[in-house]
Structure 1
């Protein structure tokens, strides 16, 4: 990997790791639904700008409905789940739990798509689960019902990412393919459609005191939508084109490091042995699942 692509990889990891910081800032103030909805609206706007600047034709070739459904699964539900978790969990927790995405892909592939479950993959899933248990049970925040629900929300999000990888192959790749930037735009539109009724309901039942929202919260939303979503999509697809999907997926190992780093630097979140042990086990699990000899399933997205 040359210097330019390594820089892209590090920037992508910093952006996706930073998304957990910005959700942690915005979600407790705005609520989970407005945070997730605002992110996908801004992400859609940013991707529309990218498509316009690159003069890409808005041609979905009969796959528009598929991209909308993929967006609901791959962006709408996960962003909402992570925003819900951000009201409860430190940013570093969510960033580490996000790394279970490939493990979810292995489990879903074996259960629903007939993928072979080899011993390294099975061991990887088990080791990853142990990492989640250690992080949850021995971390710096008390184990409560709310904490547990936050962890469950993160795992629901990563399960959606894992499922979306297989559905993308079935609905897009095996039907002739589609420009990845158009898929990204369609998926964000799908997330907007999914979250819109929830946003309307939430606004009606839990109105936000918008005048009291600080500039920090608004800036966090802008950065999360335009940089951590729109720009991150462009970087990710550029990396896939330049170095291939396997090397691009090494960003999965780096996201937790940046997520924990940003949380500690900006929000003074504690870093403990549980972060190292739990995160280390999840990293080992990722190596077992993603090592070249073990890869046969379509690689699930790692977007955050």
Structure 2
């Protein structure tokens, strides 16, 4: 009896084993051998900055035809390695994106509506009456972005505002998603001039609560020689397709809501091959070029804003930006 039972169980075991072996071959999903190569190349941050659920999700998407240059952490180097595995060309000329906090109203510049003593997160503070800050467009300063950043690229400054280390920032957008007021956004790293305010309140109302907010005065718009600034809903906005990073708007802004790396601007240098055609002189938006017709011209570096327009217009290509 026992032997019969063992025989029956053994027969069922063989039958099920045969069925499983057949099914494993019949319904096997072929795995592209390139998938493991791609995963080995990707940084493994799983930040989601590429738009896919982690590095494995992005690897699968690449095999299905997704762009090879979507990893913000790996950048151009990783994009080139992925392209080599896939046997395709890759465009590595895309400008790197970095996170930017569009608020300058810290503890000293913008006050509080009430004393908040609840859970010390921006999301929790925002849920209590729309936040404790006087400016409803401003940074609450409780560090949700800092905690969300997987690359240690954000720290809290002494004035209660997040400070982003652009050298560490990968543009993964985790801080963007974490901010309940949506005042953090990505910008091209070479967009050196920014309006660091999002308030659409009227100028007098902004002045009453924040010393560094945009008051919509229009001085920046009038100062811009390239028509790159417009006023929309009481807020200055920069068209980066027109902006030449000259920084004139930065110097004219009365509240310092517009910031820019002015010290990084190159200056125009006119070479000895100048024929004195005066085309550069006419093109200069700030009158920084001097010289008589048919005589070598010179640049007044105290006036030059480094926009590079003269170098582009020079028919002899004798002007360099240094």
Fold in common (TM above 0.5):
no
Higher RCO (C-alpha 8 Å, min separation 6): 1
- Which of the pair has more CA radius of gyration? 2
- TM-score relative to the length of structure 2: 0.20
- TM-score relative to the length of structure 1: 0.21
